[in-house]
Amino acid sequence: MSAHSQTVDPGPVRESARVTSLDLIRGVAVLGILMMNAVSFKFGPAPYFNLSAGGSETWLDWSVGIFGEIFVDQKFMGLFSLLFGAGMILFIDRAGSRGRRAVRLNLWRNALLLLIGVLHGLLWYGDVLTVYAVSSLFLIALRKLPDRALISLGVVAFALSVPCALLAQYIADTTDSSLSGLWTQGEISTQEFVGLTFLLGYFLRALGLILIGAGLYRMGFMNGGLPESTYRLTAVIGLAVGLPLAAAGVIITAVNDYSPDVAFIGQIPNTLGTIPASLAYMSLIILWNNRADNRLKCRLRAVGRMALTNYLAQTVIGVLVLTTLLADVDFVNRGAVLLFVFAVWAMQLWWSQVWLSRFLFGPAEWLWRVATYRSGQPLRRR
């Protein structure tokens, strides 16, 4: 459904007025993110980037890790970041159409998101919500730019993460850094500039994708309003470019025996493939959304409508089960972590639809909404 045809209503978004493609993309994205985050819950940050740093004991573990590097890593976070940009523009447009002070309200809303991210970060170091909250300031400042200008600036910001990776590699090589916690097991040193450079690159990737997402949403790409041939072409080109680049990164690191000498430059091909691969995934999901509905599609949309709740719940469950209960269990490797992921997927596909059959919002979404408007908001369905 076109975003421009949605009903102006000061209350909750009506079922018939939702952009179903956004819900479906968001549902797929939040489930996909768990495939990579779960590795960090169990083994820490290093095995997330370096397959040889932990959890890879059998051929199945290596297969799971390589599959994740090529098809999952950065792609689903790319989807999530694109959607955040789209969601901000959608929120500002709706708030403005209701006569609210859209910019001020959005600043307050993202200040709350920053608080949520900080609290989430206390539970797990891999939080992305703080990055999104800070990035929102840039999008608010640039929101009136033409669609193509937003996309172009996004591409430039994203591309700047590549020099950051090169600089991080240079610092690591010249300072003889151990890359503890980033490439090898151990505590991350806060005194090494290599870590700060790495984080800057991470921020630039997220910011770039958010700006691109905002521009694409305003062009009508995300609501499925463009010709199907556009989505098919985007999917073909994106997969043909993005996945081979990701595979090249896997090969580079493997050929160099996962040496710290390629810790950052080995990630560059995957980074360059993120935008085309993420847009390809998005195009395939939109094409699927435009087909007849089925049970799986409806459940995935429910997961997407509760994306914040499900994202936070994944961390709580992951930290409780993988980080705490199974911390000292040796037989838990990447294959076992994948089984954990499947179990959480099943739970979230089930409980999201059950919850939304009784309530209008997910619990985290409702609390965020109440705090945003600083007033009581309906929760139960009538």
**DSSP track, 183-226:** TBSSPPPTT-HHHHHHHHHHHHHHHHHHHHHHHHHHTTTTTT-S
CA distance 68 to 47: 12
Q: At what angle do helices 75-97 and 20-43 cross, to 10 degrees?
A: 140
CA distance 82 to 215: 9
36, 86 Cβ separation under 8 angstroms: no
CA distance 110 to 139: 12
253, 50 Cβ separation under 8 angstroms: yes
Buried b (16+ CB within 10 A) or exposed e, 357-369: eebbbbebbbbbb
Given pLDDT bands bounded at 50, 70 and 90, which one contains residue 328?
A: confident
CA distance 287 to 350: 24
pTM over cut 0.75: yes
Q: What percent of the chain has a predicted confidence (pLDDT) above 70?
A: 94
Which structure tokens are listed for 209? 């994708």
Instruction: Say how many residues make up the chain.
Output: 382
pLDDT, residue 182, reads: 85
> Which is higher by pLDDT, 98 or 20?
20
Which structure tokens are listed for 122? 């206390």
> Which is higher by pLDDT, 278 or 224?
278
Name the 3-class secondary structure at 380.
Answer: strand
Given pLDDT bands bounded at 50, 70 and 90, which one contains residue 189?
A: low
DSSP code string of 112-179: HHHHHHHHHHHH-TT--HHHHHHHHHHHHHHTTS-HHHHHHHHHHHHHTHHHHHHHHHHHHHHTT---
Q: In the Cβ-directed half-sphere of 213, how many Cα atoms lie within 13 Å?
A: 29
**What is the residue whose two structure tokens read 């090589």?**
173
How do residues 117-142 score in pLDDT, each as one tens digit? 999 999 999 999 999 999 999 999 99
DSSP code string of 216-278: HHHTTTTTT-S-HHHHHHHHHHHHHHHHHHHHHHHHHHHHTTT-GGGTTGGGHHHHHHHHHHH
Residues with Cβ < 8 Å from 376, sequence gap 6 or more?
370
Which structure tokens are listed for 106? 């959005």
pLDDT, residue 98, reads: 72
CA distance 340 to 21: 27
Going from N- to C-terminal start, the domains of the chain cover 3-373
pLDDT, residue 99, reads: 64
pLDDT at 191 over 60: no
pLDDT at 8 over 80: no
220, 286 Cβ separation under 8 angstroms: no
pLDDT, residue 15, reads: 53
41, 318 Cβ separation under 8 angstroms: yes
pLDDT, residue 5, reads: 36
CA distance 4 to 94: 10
CA distance 103 to 382: 32
Residue 329 CB neighbour total at 10 angstroms: 10
Compute the mean pLDDT over every residue in the chain, rounded to the nearest whole number.
91
